[in-house]
Amino acid sequence: MLHLAKILNTKNHNWLQSSRFRRLRITNLNIGTCSDGNERIKLISSILRNNRCESVRLYHDDGAFGYRIPRIFSMPDYTQEELSNRVENANLLRFITAYRTHGHRCAYIDPLGIMEREEVVALDHTRYGLTDPTKVYNLTGILHVNESKTSTSSKVEANLEHIISHLKKVYCGKVAYEFMHIPNASERRWFYYMIESFDILSLTIEQKRRIFEVLTRSEVFDHFMAKKFPQVKRYGLEGAESMIVALDRLFEVSNKSGIVEAVLCMPHRGRLNLLTDLLHFSPTRLFHKIKGNSEFPEDLPATGDVLSHLAISSTLGYGSAKPITVSLLHNPSHLEAVNPVAMGKARAKQMDLIKSETDCELGDRVMCIQLHGDAAFTGQGVIMESFGLSNLPHFSSGGSIHIVVNNQLGYTTPAQNARSSWYCSDIGKMINAPVIHVNGDFPEEVTRAVEMAFEYRNKFRKDVIIDLISYRRWGHNELDEPAFTQPLMYNNIRSRKSVPKLYEDKLLTEESILSENDISEFRKNYYNTLDEHYKKSDTYKPEADMLEKKWNGFIMPTETVTKMDTGVSREILENVGKTSVNIPHDIVIHPRLKKFHIQTRLQKISEGKKIDWATAEALALGSLMLEGHNIRLCGQDVGRGTFSQRHAMIVCQDTERVIVPLNNLISDQGMLEIVNSPLSELAVVGFEYGMSYESPHNLVIWEAQFGDFFNGAQVNIDTYISSGEVKWLRQSGLVMLLPHGYDGAGPEHSSCRIERFLQLTNDKFDILDENIPSNPNMHIVNPTTPAQYFHVLRRQMKRNFRKPLIIATPKILLRSPVAVSDIEDMLHGTTFLPIIEDKSVNDDKVEKIIFVSGKLYYDLVKERQNKKLEDKVAIIRFEELCPFPKSDVEKELKKYTNAKEFIWCQEEPQNNGAYTFIEPRLKQLLPSEQKLKYIGRPPSAAPAVGISKWHSAEIKNILTNVF
C-alpha cells in the first residue's frame, strides 16, 4: 500500500499535496505507461472514480497555487450482516428514519413556546405496523444505543418501548438536529452515530462553575450599563446569554483540538458583553468611549465608530499547549456584510500557516466563526453569496461555524413576516449544511450542541449551523418599547426568570454546587470591578494598535506618495515575459493561443516594443513575485480574462489540466493564485478585502467582469474599502480592476462609475491651502498606457503603507496598436506619472489646452491630426485622479503661457466621470479670469445609451465641439 504522490513520482504538481489526495491510499497500480503529466491525469481520474470521488473534476487542480480541497472523512459502509438486518426490519428502519428526519419538529427547543408546532404523524410507530411495545428487535445497522457496553457481542437488541424512549430523548429534547438533507451518506451515518450513541456525561463542577461565571458576568454587565448609561443603546444580551457560553465552549474545544487562530464576526447584539466577558476588552476603555471620547489617541486621523462596531484581538488560554488568538472584526451597521471579510481573513491566515507548516491542512489551525441574527440570516443576500464561497477550493478555510442568535424577532417584525422558510437556518441547506437547534434557556445543552458542531466541522471541514433559540428581554435596543408590536410575546418575556438566574437556581437548589453567598458575592465583586473601571475611564488614554504583527514596519502616511522608482532591469523583464508563456511539452495548447498569445508575446519581449496591456501586467506581477510577494488575482473568468486577453493560466485541451506559467520563475519566489470566482460581487469583494486586511505583503486584486459590476459590492465598498482606515485605522491594499470605456456596449457595460469612487474620497477641495494635509483614503487611476499600468501595480507593493487602489482598466485599448509601450518605459529610473504631458506640441504656440482622462485621449489625438491643429492644441492626460496631482498640473500650466482656452473633455455624461471632482480643484490652478469649459455628453440618468447610432453621434459631437 503506497502513498499516491510517491506512486506518481512527481514534484511539480501542487495538487498532489492537497489533503484530498494525500488521504487516498491506493493499491495495485500499474504506472509503467505514465510517461508524462497527461497520462498521470488519466490515471488519477480512474483512481478518483474507484474511490467514490465521481463528482471531482481535475480542472484547476494541476499547478494551481492555492487550490485547496478539504480532506475526506468517511464512515465505514454497512456490513453484509447490517444490510441483511435492515432488510429484515425494514419497517423499524423507516420509523427510526422518520425520527431522524422529523424529530426536530416536536423537540423542546423554543424557550418561549411560541413556535408553531403540529402533530408529526410520521413519528407514530403504529403507522409502520409496530404495535407490540415488548417486542425485541435486532438494532444492528439500524440504531445506536448505549446498552451493551459490557457485552462482547456486536449484536444490539432493545424492545420497542425502549427504542421509542431513546429516539425521543436524542431527537426531541432540548437539542434537535437537521441532517437528513445532506446528500453524503457518510456524513449522515456520522450523525446517526454521534447523536444516538452520545453519552450525556455530566459536566464537571469546574465546568458548571465556568458556565455560571460567564452567564452571570454577562447579566451583571448589562445591569451595570443600564444603571450607569440608561440612555445608551447597548444592544445587550439579556435573554440570549447562552451565546457567551457557546463561544466560551467553542474556543475551548477548538483550542484543545489544535486551533490557534479564530476569526470571529458578529452583529451588534451582545457584542459589548462578549468583548468584556471573554475577550479581555478593558471596561475602562469601553466606558471611556461611551462617555463620548475617541477610542484612538487624539493625534491620529480617525473618526472612530459606534460602540457596537468595536473590535479586538485577544489571546485566550484554555490549558492547551498553545493559546488561541481570537480576532473579533470591526463591522458596519449593514448586517452580515462582515461575514465574507471574516472568511477572507481566515483564509489568508490559513494559507500562511499551510506555507510555513508542512503538516498543516485547511482548518487545522484556523477557524472562522460567524455570529448572526435570525432576521438578517434570511434577509440579507450576502449570506447566500457567502455560503456559495464556503466549499470552493480557492475560498475555503476548512469550514465555518455559524451561530445564529435567534431572538425570534427581527427589529420589530415577527418571524412569520420576516421569512418564508420554516426555520431561519434553512438558508444553509443550499450547501447542505447540517443544523443543530438548541434551547437557549439550557446552557449545558448549548455546550453539547457546540461540541457536536465542532466535531462535525473538524471531521468534514464544512460549514455547520447552530440555531441558538432565545429571546430579547428588551426591544431592538434598550430605549425601544417592544410591546407596541408584540404585546403577548413581551408579557411572556417579562414574567420569566433570566437565563443566568435559571442556571443559578439549578446549581443552587438541584445540585448544591453554589450557595446563596457564592452567588451574591460573585455578582457584587464583578459589579465592583466594573465600577472601578468606570471611575478610571475619565483619565484613560487610548493607545494605538493598528500597525502590529504583520503590519510592523508600515506607517500611517501623513502625505501622498505617488512617484517612486518602480522600474525593473531589462534582464528580469525579459525573463518574466518569456516564462509567462513557457508551457510544458505535455500541455496541449489551443491553436489560437499558440499563435496570437504565445508567439506574439515572445516577439514583443524580444523586440522590446509594442508591449500590450496583458504583457505589461504579466511583467508587473512576475517581477513582484521575484521580490517575494504572493499575488491573488480574483474575479469572474480572470484566468483567461473577460476579454480573452490575459491567459495567466493555460488549460490543456486534452485533459483540462491547468498550468500557471508565472509560478515557475525560480524556486524561491512569490506565487500567483488565479481565482476564477463564482458570479458574486458583494461576498467576493468582501472576501478579497479580508485577504488584504490580513496580508499586507501580498498583492490582492479583484477584477470586475465589467466595470459597473462593482455596484453589486457597493455595501462593502462604502463601509470597508473607502472608510475602513478612517473609522478603524485599518489599512488595506486591495486593488480593484474595473474595465471602463464607452464603445457602444450600452448602459451596463460602459462605465465603472468613476464618479462614485471619487465622491467617496476625502481628497481636499482647497488644494492651495498647504496647511490642509493631503492623504486621501483611496487612490484612483485611469491609465492610458501599459507602462503606466505596470508601474501603478508595482507602486502598490513598494510603498510602506497601504491604500485601496481603484484602476479604471481598458477594454478596446487592450489590443489597440496605439496604446502600447516600449520596455524602456519600465526599466530602472521610470515611474508612474500622475499627469502625462503632451510632448508633440510647441509650448509657445499652444492656444488651447484639453484635459482628458482615459481612452478618449486617443480619439482626440487622431481628430487633432485630421484637423492639423498640433501646434495650437495641447492634450494633457490625467492618469491619476485621486490624489489630485496639483504639482504636476501646475508644472504643465506654466509651460503654456499663451493658452487662452481650457477644456475638460470626457466621454462620460456630465454628471458622471471625473468632471465634478476635477472642476472645483483644477479651476484653482488656472490663470486668473479663466474658466474651465466642459465638453462631453450631457447629464444622463443612464451611464450610456443603448442605441448604436446615438452612441456614434455623441462621439462625433464631442470631437466637433472640442476642435
Angle among Cα 618, 622, 627 to the nearest 5 degrees reads 155
The backbone torsions φ and ψ at residue 561, rounded to the nearest 5 degrees and listed phi first, read: -115, 115
One-letter amino acid at 402 equals: H
What's residue 18's pLDDT? Answer: 38
**pLDDT per position as a tens digit, 452-495:** 999 999 999 999 999 999 998 888 887 888 889 888 888 888 88
The radius of gyration of the chain's CA atoms, rounded to the nearest angstrom, is 32
What's residue 619's pLDDT? Answer: 98
- What gap in Å lies between CA 368 and CA 318, rounded to an integer? 18
914 closest CA partner among 888, 961, 880:
880
Q: Are 804 and 761 in contact (CB under 8 A)?
A: no
Strand pairing report for 366-373 and 261-265: parallel
- Among 406-420, 535-549, 937-951, which stretch is predicted with the lowest mean pLDDT? 406-420
Q: Is the per-residue pLDDT at 61 higher than 70?
A: no
**pLDDT per position as a tens digit, 816-830:** 999 999 999 999 999
Q: Is the per-residue pLDDT at 837 higher than 50?
A: yes
Quick one: average pLDDT of 181-187?
Answer: 95
Q: Give 32's contacts (C-beta < 8 A, 6+ positions apart).
A: none
- What gap in Å lies between CA 208 and CA 446, rounded to an integer? 12
What's residue 328's pLDDT? Answer: 98
**pLDDT per position as a tens digit, 931-940:** 999 999 999 9
What's residue 414's pLDDT? Answer: 76
What's residue 200's pLDDT? Answer: 63
Could you give the angle at which helices 90-102 and 160-171 cross, rounded to 10 degrees? 20
What does the DSSP 8-state code read for residue 821?
B
Query: Residue 197's pLDDT band (boundaries 50, 70, 90)?
Result: confident
What's residue 434's pLDDT? Answer: 98
Q: Are 896 and 843 in contact (CB under 8 A)?
A: yes
One-letter amino acid at 578 equals: K
Q: What is the model's pTM?
A: 0.92
Residues of CATH 3.40.50.970 domain(s) within the chain? 216-543
- Among 41-50, 284-293, 720-729, 888-897, which stretch is predicted with the lowest mean pLDDT? 41-50
Q: Is the per-residue pLDDT at 758 higher than 80?
A: yes
725 closest CA partner among 657, 669, 781, 779:
779
Query: Residue 35's pLDDT band (boundaries 50, 70, 90)?
Result: very low
Residues of CATH 3.40.50.11610 domain(s) within the chain? 836-962
Q: Are 534 and 580 in contact (CB under 8 A)?
A: no
- What gap in Å lies between CA 240 and CA 371, rounded to an integer? 13
Q: Domain 570-740+782-826 belongs to what architecture?
A: 3-Layer(aba) Sandwich (3.40)
**pLDDT per position as a tens digit, 269-279:** 999 999 999 99
CATH number of 836-962: 3.40.50.11610
The backbone torsions φ and ψ at residue 699, rounded to the nearest 5 degrees and listed phi first, read: -90, 115
**pLDDT per position as a tens digit, 524-548:** 999 999 999 999 999 999 998 889 9
DSSP-H helix ranges across 588-637 = 591-593, 600-607, 613-626
What's residue 39's pLDDT? Answer: 52
What does the DSSP 8-state code read for residue 588?
-
Q: Which of the pair, 433 or 48, is modelled with greater confidence?
A: 433
β-pair partners for 635: 676, 703
Residues of CATH 3.40.50.12470 domain(s) within the chain? 570-740+782-826
Task: Give buried/exposed letters for 397-415 (b at 16+ CB in 10 A, else e).
Answer: bbbbbbbbbbbbbbeeeeb
Q: Which three cell numbers stand for residue 210?
A: 465556568
Q: Give 3's contacts (C-beta < 8 A, 6+ positions apart).
A: 22, 25
Q: Is the per-residue pLDDT at 47 higher than 70?
A: no
What's residue 766's pLDDT? Answer: 96
CATH class of 216-543: alpha beta
Q: Which three cell numbers stand for residue 226?
A: 443600564
Q: Which three cell numbers stand for residue 717?
A: 465598498
684 closest CA partner among 663, 657, 658, 712:
712
Q: Is the per-residue pLDDT at 447 higher than 60?
A: yes
- What gap in Å lies between CA 822 and CA 302, rounded to an integer? 43
- What average pLDDT does the chain have? 90
Strand pairing report for 699-703 and 175-178: unpaired
**pLDDT per position as a tens digit, 360-387:** 888 999 999 999 999 999 999 999 999 9
Q: Is the per-residue pLDDT at 864 higher than 60?
A: yes
Q: Is the per-residue pLDDT at 49 higher than 90?
A: no
CA 532 to chain centre: 39
**pLDDT per position as a tens digit, 614-658:** 999 999 999 999 999 999 999 999 999 999 999 999 999 998 889
What's residue 201's pLDDT? Answer: 65
Quick one: average pLDDT of 859-874?
Answer: 95
